[in-house]
Amino acid sequence: MSSVDDLKVKIFADGADFQGIIRMYQEPRIKGFTTNPTLMRKAGITDYEAFARQVLAVVPDRPVSFEVFADDFDEMIAQARVIASWGKNINVKVPVTDTKGNFAGKVIRTLSSEGVVLNVTAVMTLAQVAAIADALAANAPAIVSVFAGRIADTGVDPVPHMKACLESLVARPQAELLWASPRELLNIFQADEIGCHIITVTNDVLAKLNLVGRDLIDYSRETVQMFHRDAAASGFSIRTPARAA
């Protein structure tokens, strides 16, 4: 395994905790930021635009993705235009389909042709990636977020799947493949190894970066020490037979 400093994949921090975003902005390894309505709701955010502008004030020079939340394609386009106007470093997230499963090709084609930098999200299948590539304007910068973690949750190995997704984007050289919803730190190295352009990672996984390269013998001993310490702190006891003298 290579070191963190050798990684070519760009790491984006994923979340809606404002203080966490500030902390991650101080980390030069973090090259961008993503969020979504679900994460914002969990963080208790009620004013979408106010939060977005607050984030952009502290992250003025790295990509930040904010997502439309309409379910009508024309309204998605209208929302995307407004969101894009908030800052030059914004990637506008649009879902690959509406809630009924209809492909958002109209949204992608319209906004891409207007120069809006899109982050097409909630992508799962190779057919979806191919359709997105076809809808994007030639040489238009964009991000295609394939939810590798959710794919893995279904029992499918995401590594060959993501390799195939990369191949589907060859005709769109300015479109970057993003490994979304990683479940463990290892996914960063897997994404890097196959040539994925970006991986978006939550703060709890990013916190494990200092474990990369740890000596496993030391890590094993520390784990045993943790078990012993917590058993003692809990006051656990088991009566065992007296040992013979």
CA gap 123, 97 in Å, rounded: 9
In DSSP notation, 139-191 reads: T--EEEEE-HHHHHHTT--HHHHHHHHHHHTTT-TTEEEEE-S--STHHHHHH
φ/ψ bin of 83: left (φ > 0), alpha (ψ from -120 to 50), beta (otherwise): alpha
93 is an active site residue: yes
CA atoms within 13 A on the CB side of 230: 6
Coil, strand or helix at 235: coil
Q: Strand pairing of 175-179 and 30-34?
A: unpaired
Catalytic site residue from 93, 100, 106, 163? 93
Structure tokens at 40: 């914002």
Residues serving a catalytic function are: 93
